[in-house]
Amino acid sequence: MIHRTQVGIVGAGPAGLLLGHLLHLNGIDSVIVEDRSREHVIDRVRAGVLEQGTVDLMTAMGVGRGVQHSGLRHEGLYISFLGQRHRINLAELTGGKAITVYGQNEVVRDLIEARAETGRPLLFEAEHVSVGGFDSSSPEIRFRHGGVDHALQCDFIAGCDGFHGICRPSIPSGSLTVHERQYPFAWLGILAEAAPSSDELVYTYHERGFALFSMRSPSMTRLYFQVPPDESIETWSDDAIWSEMLERMTTRDGWRPTVGRIIQKAVTPMRSFVATPMRHGRLFLAGDSAHIVPPTGAKGLNLAASDVLVLARALKEYFTDGRTEWLDRYPEVCARRVWKAQRFSWWMTSTLHRFPDENAFDYHRQIADLDYLTGSRAAMTSLAEQYVGLPAEVSFESAGL
C-alpha cells in the first residue's frame, strides 16, 4: 500500500512524539512508525530529570498537565563526598529555574495520549522498517504493518529511532563522522518501592565509586552505583545491592536511602557519542539516533527535546513559505547545544566516578574539584545553569508555539 505524508517519523520515543505534536500544532501532517508495542514503549524505565526548558516546552505545547500535576520540582541538589552532603541551590543560582523529576515513561504516555487525540497516525509494532531515497524529493519509509506491506512517501524523514535504530546506519558510509568515548564503568540501577529519604537528588563520590540517589515518585526511589563495564546483573543479589548502596551513600550525619523492595534492576553502559552532521539529504536525525550522553548530567531526553524544537522550526518555515535556511542550519544549530551537553555530561562523569587506572594524585585532585565546586559560588553557578538547562537555541514562538 502506498501512502503520502509531509514528515515521516521513525520512532515513538520522546523525540518522535514531541516532534509529531509540534508539527501537528503547526498543521503539518506526519506519520509516526514504531517497531515496538505501545506497552513496551510506555513501560521502558529510563530518564527522569526534565530541564526547566523541557517542562516549559511541554507546557507551551499543551501536553504539560501531567508534569505540572505529578512532577516533582527540585530547586536544589546535593553533592556528597567524604561523608558529607553539600547542597547546591539551583533556583537561587539561576534566577528561579529548577529541574522536575517526572519519569520518561510518564512523558511518553502523555505524548501518546495527546497524539491519539489529534487523530494523526501512530503505528506500533511495524515490522521490517527501512528508509531510503534521502537524495530524492520524496524519501520513503517502508514497513510491514497488520500483515500488509506499506511504502510511505514523505517530503522529509525524521530519524527519531534511538541509538540502535535503522536511520543512522542507512546513511551511506563516509557521509557521517562519529565522535565517541567509552567509559571504563557502567551503572547498576534499581527502582525500589521505598519513600525517598531526600527531597532532592544526591550525587555521591565515594572511595568505592560513584552512587546516585534519585526518585520517581513520593513512594518510589531510583538508585544507581558505578560497577565495572561488563558487570552481570545476575551476580548482584538484592541484599548485596542494598549493602553497596548504603556503604557508598550513608553520610556522617546518618542520612541514608530508605531500603525497600527492588522491582527493577539493570546495568547500563556509559558512552559519549555524536554522529555529525545530523542531516543527510532529506533525512534529519534527532535525539539518541544522533547522540548519546552518559546519564550523569541527565541530558539525554532533554537534548532530544531541544533537537526537535529546532527541527520543528525548520519544517514550519519550509512548509509555510518554502524557506530552507533553517533546514540547512539544523545540524550546526543542534551541534552547539549537543556539544555543550556532551562536555557537561563528560565533566560530571569524570568528576564523580573512580577510574580503574587512577592513582592517589587523581583521587586528591577529584576531592579538590568537589571541594572547589561546593565552596565557590561561581563554580556552583556554572553547574546550576547547565543542570537546569542552557537556553534553547530557538524560541518557542519561532517553532509556532
Ligand X SMILES: Cc1cc2nc3c(=O)[nH]c(=O)nc-3n(C[C@H](O)[C@H](O)[C@H](O)COP(=O)(O)OP(=O)(O)OC[C@H]3O[C@@H](n4cnc5c(N)ncnc54)[C@H](O)[C@@H]3O)c2cc1C
Tell me how far, at minimum, the Cβ of 371 lies from ligand X, in Å: 26
| Long-range CB contacts (within 8 A, 24+) of 324-330 | 327/279, 327/284, 330/278, 330/279, 330/284
Distance, in Å, from the CA atom of 278 to the CA atom of 205, rounded to the nearest integer, reads: 35
Considering the complex, state which of residue 219 and residue 264 has its C-beta at the smaller distance from ligand X.
264
Distance, in Å, from the CA atom of 218 to the CA atom of 207, rounded to the nearest integer, reads: 30
| Long-range CB contacts (within 8 A, 24+) of 23-26 | 23/312, 23/315, 24/115, 24/118, 24/120, 25/61, 25/62, 25/400, 25/401, 26/312, 26/315, 26/316, 26/319, 26/320, 26/399, 26/400
Considering the complex, state which of residue 226 and residue 368 has its C-beta at the smaller distance from ligand X.
226
How many C-beta atoms lie closer than 10 Å to residue 363's C-beta?
A: 14
Tell me how far, at minimum, the Cβ of 320 lies from ligand X, in Å: 26
Distance, in Å, from the CA atom of 195 to the CA atom of 218, rounded to the nearest integer, reads: 6
Which residues belong to the active site? 74, 203, 295, 299, 387
Distance, in Å, from the CA atom of 257 to the CA atom of 246, rounded to the nearest integer, reads: 7
Can you read off the three cell numbers belonging to residue 158? 525524521
Closest CA to 177 of 331, 398, 377: 331
Tell me how far, at minimum, the Cβ of 87 lies from ligand X, in Å: 21
The end-to-end CA distance of the chain, in Å, is: 34
Distance, in Å, from the CA atom of 258 to the CA atom of 260, rounded to the nearest integer, reads: 7
Can you read off the three cell numbers belonging to residue 52? 526547566
DSSP 273-329: EEEE-SEETTEEE-GGGTEE--GGG--HHHHHHHHHHHHHHHHHHHHHH---HHHHH
**Residues near ligand X, by CB under 6 A:** 10-16, 33-36, 41, 46-49, 104, 126, 129, 160-162, 165-166, 268, 287-288, 295, 298-301, 304
Considering the complex, state which of residue 12 and residue 67 has its C-beta at the smaller distance from ligand X.
12
Closest CA to 246 of 233, 259, 236, 235: 259
Considering the complex, state which of residue 249 and residue 290 has its C-beta at the smaller distance from ligand X.
290
Which residue shows C-alpha cell 563520590? 205
- What secondary structure letter does DSSP report for 256? -
Tell me how far, at minimum, the Cβ of 186 lies from ligand X, in Å: 10
Considering the complex, state which of residue 125 and residue 385 has its C-beta at the smaller distance from ligand X.
125
Considering the complex, state which of residue 79 and residue 108 has its C-beta at the smaller distance from ligand X.
108
Considering the complex, state which of residue 249 and residue 341 has its C-beta at the smaller distance from ligand X.
341
What residues form DSSP beta bridges with 177?
Answer: 276
Tell me how far, at minimum, the Cβ of 401 lies from ligand X, in Å: 20
Tell me how far, at minimum, the Cβ of 6 lies from ligand X, in Å: 19
Tell me how far, at minimum, the Cβ of 58 lies from ligand X, in Å: 14
Distance, in Å, from the CA atom of 142 to the CA atom of 148, rounded to the nearest integer, reads: 11
Considering the complex, state which of residue 58 and residue 378 has its C-beta at the smaller distance from ligand X.
58
Tell me how far, at minimum, the Cβ of 389 lies from ligand X, in Å: 11
158 Cβ partners below 8 Å, 6+ apart?
A: 7, 8, 9, 10, 15, 16, 19, 30, 284, 286, 308, 311
